Structure formats: structure tokens, C-alpha cells
């Protein structure tokens, strides 16, 4: 089976960047940790919620790098004299990334009951009608 690209469609002009974006998303390699939800809270707003139990606000960082939302978590090493008989709660670091479309901006972030909420808003598209003048060629 031949892989079709957006450039293979003659009516799809200038979508090379979208194709690269899709490939980057497919290769991002996000593991299943931490689990997350994505909600559409209105026509132009979204919320990403990550389950980050055990992480404090200072253990987390949220950045936007090249249209990619990146959430990183790293807990400080526990140097106490605690002896675990069973350790089933992971204290591992993580990185989760989400590719943002043009016009999607990251708003506020908040923590509540072990959940990190990140609000996103998409700008409302403007309807633009452009008339192109047809120039007459000189004879």
C-alpha cells in the first residue's frame, strides 16, 4: 500500500507544514503516564487535565515550544529514612506534549485534588473575502 501525502492532492496547496506537524505528533512517543483528559468546554475553548497525584506545583513546568505544549514533572528526591514494605506509587518524572494548531493559545493552569488543569483557547476565525483584479495584457 502506498502512503499518500497531502502534497499528492492537487487542490491542497501549502499544507506541507500541516503534514510535518502530523508526522511530528505521531512520533512524539508519549507514554501512558500520566493519564489525561481533553475536554471541549465551548466552541473555542478546551481543557487538558492531567492526573498528577503526588506532584506539587513546584514539581511541574508548562512551556510552549514551537507550537507544542510541553508539561514536565519531576519530583525532588526523597532523602528521608522511610522504609517501604511496598512501593506502588510511582515517583517518576514525565513529559507530556500536545501539538497546538495555529490560533490556539494556552491560558491559565491550576491544580486541584491532584489534577493539573490547563485551559486553551482558539481564536475565532475572521471571514475574509478578497477580490482579485484581473489585469489585461497589452497587445
Query: Is 104 in contact with 40 (CB distance < 8 Å)?
Result: no
pTM of the predicted model, to two decimals? Answer: 0.70
> Tell me, what's the pLDDT at 134?
92
Mean pLDDT in consecutive groups of 10 residues from the start of the chain, 139 residues: 62 71 63 90 96 92 93 83 82 88 93 97 87 84
Q: Decide if 96 is inside a domain.
A: yes
Distance CA 113, CA 53 (A): 8
Query: Is 76 in contact with 97 (CB distance < 8 Å)?
Result: no
| Domain that includes residue 36, residue range | 32-122
> Tell me, what's the pLDDT at 25?
63
Q: Decide if 63 is inside a domain.
A: yes
Distance CA 74, CA 112 (A): 18
Q: Decide if 22 is inside a domain.
A: no
Core vs surface per residue 75-97: b (16+ CB within 10 A) or e: beeeeeeeeeeeeeeeeeebebb
Number of domains the chain is built from: 1
Q: Decide if 87 is inside a domain.
A: yes
Q: Decide if 139 is inside a domain.
A: no
Domain harbouring 102, CATH code: 2.60.40.790
> Tell me, what's the pLDDT at 62?
98
> Tell me, what's the pLDDT at 83?
87
Amino acid at each position: 500500500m502506498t502512503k499518500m501525502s497531502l502534497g499528492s492532492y492537487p487542490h491542497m496547496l501549502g499544507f506541507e507544514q500541516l503534514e510535518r506537524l502530523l508526522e511530528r505528533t505521531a512520533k512524539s512517543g508519549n507514554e501512558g503516564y500520566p493519564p489525561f483528559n481533553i475536554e471541549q468546554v465551548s466552541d473555542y475553548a478546551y481543557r487538558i487535565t492531567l492526573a498528577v497525584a503526588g506532584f506539587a506545583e513546584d514539581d511541574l513546568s508548562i512551556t510552549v515550544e514551537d507550537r507544542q505544549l510541553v508539561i514536565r514533572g519531576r519530583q525532588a528526591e526523597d532523602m528521608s529514612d522511610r522504609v517501604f514494605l511496598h512501593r506502588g506509587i510511582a515517583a517518576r518524572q514525565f513529559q507530556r506534549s500536545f501539538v497546538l494548531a495555529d490560533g490556539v493559545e494556552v491560558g491559565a493552569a491550576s491544580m486541584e485534588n491532584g489534577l493539573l488543569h490547563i485551559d486553551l483557547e482558539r481564536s475565532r476565525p475572521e471571514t475574509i473575502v478578497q477580490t482579485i483584479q484581473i489585469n489585461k495584457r497589452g497587445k
